[in-house]
A and B are shown apart, each in its own frame.
Chain A
Amino acid sequence: MPMSYFIGLSVVMFAMGILGVLLRRNPLVVFMSLELMFNSANLLFVAFSAYHQVLDGQLFVFFVMTTAAAEVAVGLALIVAIFKAKRTIDLDQMSSLKG
C-alpha cells in the first residue's frame, strides 16, 4: 500500500479534528476531537515506522497514548470542576478572562 494512502487518511483525520475543536461548543466533544488528532499523528508514526523498518515510531505512539491519558484525566477533572462552579459546560460561557 502506498504511503500516500496513510498520509492522506491521517491528514483527513487531522482536518476533522480541527473542525471539531473549532466548531463544537461542548468541551467533551472538543476533547474527543483532540484525541482524533492524536490518532492521526499516531497513524503516521506507525506507518513511517513500518516504512523505515524502525521500531522507535511505535514507541512514540506508546508515549503519546500515555500522555494523552494523563491529559484526558486532567482535562475531564477540569471540566467537572468547571461544571460544579458554573453549572454548565458550554465553552462560550467561559469567557471571564476577556480583555
Chain B
Amino acid sequence: MSLNEIASLHPFFQLAPLVVFLPVLGLLINLLVGKRLGEKGIGAVASLATGGAFAVAVLLAVGLAQVSEGGTLTLANWINLGDLDVNWSFRIDTLSVLMMLVVSGVGTLIHIYSIGYMHSDVRHNEDPGRFRRFFVYLNLFIAFMMVLVSSDNFLMLFVGWEGVGLCSYLLIGFWFEKGADGIGNARAAKKAFVVNRIGDFGLLIALFLLFYNFGTLNFTEIFAQAPAVAAAAPGAIMAITLFMLLGVTGKSAQLPLYVWLPDAMAGPTPVSALIHAATMVTAGVYLVARSQALYFEVPAAQNAVMWVGALTALFAATIAVGQYDIKKVLAYSTISQLGFMVAAVGMGATVAGMFHLTTHAFFKALLFLGAGSVILGVEHGHAHAHAGEHGHDSFDPQDMREMGGLRKRMPLTFIVYLIGALALAGIAPLAGFFSKDEILAAANEKSIGVYVLLTAAAFLTAFYMGRQLLMVFFGKPRSGASEKAAESPLLVTLPLVILALLSVFGGALNLPGSHLLETWLEHSLAETAPGQFVLTVALISIGIALLGLLLAWLVYGRKPIFEKGQPDPLRRPLNGLFKALENKWWVDEFYHTVIVRPYQSIAKFSAGAVDQGVIDGVVNGMGSLVQSGAKAWRRYQNGYVRSYALTIVFGVVLVITYLVLR
C-alpha cells in the first residue's frame, strides 16, 4: 500500500516509518554534533528519539484499536531481481505494534537510566569520551530492532536481525580493552558474534528454502500459501521451521547455543537490560510467533521448539543457582525465561508467549537496571572505602559474596528489586504470575513432561531469586565497599520506579477474565485460544514459588554467610552437584573441547599445510614458472635490431605461406 492508501485506512498509520527514522535521526544528530551537546544533550537527544518512536508506536496502537486489521506501508522497492521482489515496507498489525511498544517503551526508560548510569560508568572506566558512542549504538540498536519487528517480509526482518546482532556485538565489547587479560570483553563480544552467526546461518538457510518453495519472502503471501505448500511438500516446511529454530536458539539463547548470553554481561548494565534481557533476545520468540502459520503445519517442529524451550528453561535455571555474579544470575534467569516463552510459542500458546515476553521485558529490565544501581552503589562505596588507595583490580563490584546488607543503604533500589524478583518468581498478583501461569496452564494441557520441566524451572527461579535477594540485600555488609554503598541518583532510580509499577500492574494486560492481549493479538495471529486459567495450576505455581523462596531463606537467610571466605552453604549438602552448577555444567569447556579445539586445529591445518603449503605453493610455483620462462625467452630479446627484423620477416613469410596455401 502506498502512503495515501494507508492514510485512508487510518491517518496514524502513515507515521509507521518514523519508528525507524526517529532513532536514526537521533543517532545522526549525536554522531554529527554530539561533541558540542555535552552529556545531558546527548542523553536527551537519544532518549527523545526513542521516546518519539514510542509515541509513534502508541499512535499506531490507537489507530489499530479502531482499524484492527492494520496494513502494510511500502516505502520503496528494495530488490527486484527475477522472481525475487522485496520491498522496504512496514507491516502495521497488532503483533508488530505490541513489539514496537515493548521495545521503544522499555528502551526509552533504559535510555533515561543510561544517562545517569553511563555518567559514572565512563568515569569509572576512565574514558568519558565514550558517552556519546554509547548512545549512538543504543539508538542504532533501537532502529534495527524496529526494522526487525516492523518488516513485512523475511528479508527485511533479516536485516534487522543482523543489525541488532551487530549492535549487540558492539555494545558487549563497549569496553573492549577491559576484562580478563585486557581482552576479556572483546572475547565475550566475539563469542556472542560467532555463536549468533551459527544461528543466523540457520535462519538464512530457512530464508533460502522459503524463497525456493514459496517464490516470495512476503509474510502475507507465504502464510496464505502455507497450507498448500505443506500439503505438496511437507518436508520443505519441516526443514524451514527447523532451520528457523536454529536461528531462534542463536538469537534467543536457547540450548544448545545459549552460551553467548552469560558472557554478554560484559557489556554495560543498561545494555544487558535492553538488549540481552528485554528486547533483542526475544526476537526469536517474535519470529516463531510471526511464523506461527508455518509451525501449525508441522506439529513435529512445534514439538521441537517446545522441548528446546522447556529444557532450556530448566537447564539455565539450575546454573543460575550456582552463580555468584549478580548479573550472571540474571543472565541465566533470562535464558530460562526465554525458554518459557519459546516453549509457549512452540506449543501454540502464542498469546501466552507474547504476554510473558512483555511482562518479562518489564521485570527483567527492572532487575538488570536494579543490579546496575547496586553495582553503581557498590562502586561508589568502594571508592569511598578505599579513597587514596591505588588499584581496584582485585575488587569485583558484581560479586554477590562481597555485598550484603544493602537493604538499608539503598532502600529504593531494594524495594524495586524486591518487586522485580517477586514478579519473576511468579508471586501473585505481580505481572510474572499471570504470564507464567498462562504458559504453565497451556503446558499442562499439551504435555505433562513439559509441564513438569517448566514447573521445576519455576521452582528454581524462585529459589535463585530468593538466594540473590538474601545475598545482596540482607545480612551484614561483607566488604568495605558494601558498607559504604550509597543510593543511586534520581535519573537512575526513576526508570526503576516506572518499571516496578509496570511489573506490578503488567499482569492486567491479559487477566484471566478480560483477555485484553488475546483479543488484541487475534487480529494478527492465525489461531488463538483464550488463555486457560486452571486453579490447581495456579495454586501449584504459587505454592512452589513460595516454597522456593522459603528454601532460599532456610539456606541463606538464617545465619551469616560467606564470612571469612566460607563456601556457599549449598556446597556441603549437594557436594559434586553444586560444583557442576558453579561451573555451568562445564558446557563451555565441553564446547571448547568438542568444537572449538578441533575447529582451531582444522583452521591451523588449513592455514599451514593447505594455505601456505598448497595454495602458496601453487602461487609461488606460477611465479617461478613465469620467471624461468622469462629467463628462457629473454635470450631472444638480444637488443640487436637486425635480429628483430629477422623475426618480423619470418612472420611475413609465415603469413604469405598461409596466403599461398589457402
Residues of chain A contacted by B640 (CB below 8 angstroms):
91-92, 95, 98
Residues of chain A contacted by B649 (CB below 8 angstroms):
18, 21-22
Residues of chain A contacted by B635 (CB below 8 angstroms):
99
User: A57 CA to B637 CA in the complex, in Å?
Assistant: 38
B646 adjacent to chain A (CB < 8 Å): yes
> Would you call A25 and B638 a contact (CB within 8 A)?
no
A81 CB to nearest B CB, Å:
16
> Would you call B642 and A95 a contact (CB within 8 A)?
no
> Would you call A22 and B639 a contact (CB within 8 A)?
no
User: A96 CA to B649 CA in the complex, in Å?
Assistant: 23
Prevailing SS type, chain B contact patch: helix
A97 adjacent to chain B (CB < 8 Å): yes
B659 adjacent to chain A (CB < 8 Å): no
A9 adjacent to chain B (CB < 8 Å): no
Residues of chain B contacted by A99 (CB below 8 angstroms):
633-639
Residue of A whose beta carbon sits closest to that of B637: A99
User: A94 CA to B641 CA in the complex, in Å?
Assistant: 8
> Would you call B639 and A21 a contact (CB within 8 A)?
no
B645 adjacent to chain A (CB < 8 Å): yes
User: A92 CA to B642 CA in the complex, in Å?
Assistant: 8
User: A94 CA to B638 CA in the complex, in Å?
Assistant: 10
The size bracket of the interface on B is 10 to 19
User: A92 CA to B639 CA in the complex, in Å?
Assistant: 9
A73 CB to nearest B CB, Å:
19
User: A21 CA to B640 CA in the complex, in Å?
Assistant: 12
A22 CB contact (under 8 Å) in B634, B636, B638, B646: B646
Residues of chain B contacted by A25 (CB below 8 angstroms):
642
Number of interface residues of A (CB under 8 A): 13
Residues of chain B contacted by A97 (CB below 8 angstroms):
637, 639
User: A97 CA to B645 CA in the complex, in Å?
Assistant: 15
> Would you call A98 and B639 a contact (CB within 8 A)?
yes
| Contact pattern, B 127-149, Cβ under 8 Å of A = 1, otherwise 0 | 00000000000000000000000
> Would you call B637 and A98 a contact (CB within 8 A)?
yes
User: A22 CA to B638 CA in the complex, in Å?
Assistant: 15
Residues of chain B contacted by A96 (CB below 8 angstroms):
639
Residues of chain A contacted by B641 (CB below 8 angstroms):
91, 94
> Would you call B642 and A21 a contact (CB within 8 A)?
yes
| Contact pattern, A 51-72, Cβ under 8 Å of B = 1, otherwise 0 | 0000000000000000000000
| Contact pattern, A 30-54, Cβ under 8 Å of B = 1, otherwise 0 | 0000000000000000000000000
User: A25 CA to B640 CA in the complex, in Å?
Assistant: 10
B655 CB to nearest A CB, Å:
14
User: A91 CA to B640 CA in the complex, in Å?
Assistant: 7
B516 CB to nearest A CB, Å:
88
| Contact pattern, A 19-31, Cβ under 8 Å of B = 1, otherwise 0 | 0011101000000
User: A54 CA to B83 CA in the complex, in Å?
Assistant: 64
B209 CB to nearest A CB, Å:
59
User: A97 CA to B639 CA in the complex, in Å?
Assistant: 5
User: A51 CA to B578 CA in the complex, in Å?
Assistant: 113
A1 CB to nearest B CB, Å:
25
Residues of chain A contacted by B637 (CB below 8 angstroms):
97-99
Residue of B whose beta carbon sits closest to that of A96: B639
Residue of A whose beta carbon sits closest to that of B635: A99
User: A94 CA to B639 CA in the complex, in Å?
Assistant: 7
Residues of chain A contacted by B636 (CB below 8 angstroms):
99
| Contact pattern, B 632-662, Cβ under 8 Å of A = 1, otherwise 0 | 0111111111100110010000000000000
User: A92 CA to B637 CA in the complex, in Å?
Assistant: 14
Q: Which of B607-651 contact A (CB under 8 A)?
A: 633-642, 645-646, 649
Residues of chain B contacted by A22 (CB below 8 angstroms):
642, 645-646, 649
| Contact pattern, A 83-99, Cβ under 8 Å of B = 1, otherwise 0 | 00000000110111111
Residues of chain A contacted by B645 (CB below 8 angstroms):
21-22
> Would you call A91 and B639 a contact (CB within 8 A)?
no
> Would you call B646 and A95 a contact (CB within 8 A)?
no
> Would you call A91 and B634 a contact (CB within 8 A)?
no
User: A92 CA to B640 CA in the complex, in Å?
Assistant: 6
B435 CB to nearest A CB, Å:
83
User: A94 CA to B642 CA in the complex, in Å?
Assistant: 11
Residues of chain A contacted by B639 (CB below 8 angstroms):
94-99
User: A21 CA to B571 CA in the complex, in Å?
Assistant: 103
A15 CB to nearest B CB, Å:
10
Residue of B whose beta carbon sits closest to that of A27: B641
Residue of A whose beta carbon sits closest to that of B634: A99
User: A21 CA to B646 CA in the complex, in Å?
Assistant: 9
A95 CB contact (under 8 Å) in B633, B634, B638: B638
Residues of chain B contacted by A95 (CB below 8 angstroms):
638-640
Residue of B whose beta carbon sits closest to that of A98: B639
Q: Could you pull out 28 A-B pairs where Cβ atoms are within 8 angstroms?
A: A18-B649, A21-B642, A21-B645, A22-B642, A22-B649, A23-B642, A91-B640, A91-B641, A91-B642, A92-B640, A92-B642, A94-B639, A94-B641, A95-B638, A95-B639, A95-B640, A96-B639, A97-B637, A97-B639, A98-B637, A98-B638, A98-B639, A98-B640, A99-B633, A99-B634, A99-B635, A99-B636, A99-B639
The 3 closest A-B CB pairs, nearest first, are: A98-B639, A95-B639, A99-B637
With A91-B640, A98-B637, A98-B638 given, name 14 new contacts (CB 8 A): A18-B649, A21-B642, A21-B645, A22-B645, A23-B642, A25-B642, A94-B641, A95-B638, A95-B639, A96-B639, A97-B639, A99-B633, A99-B634, A99-B636
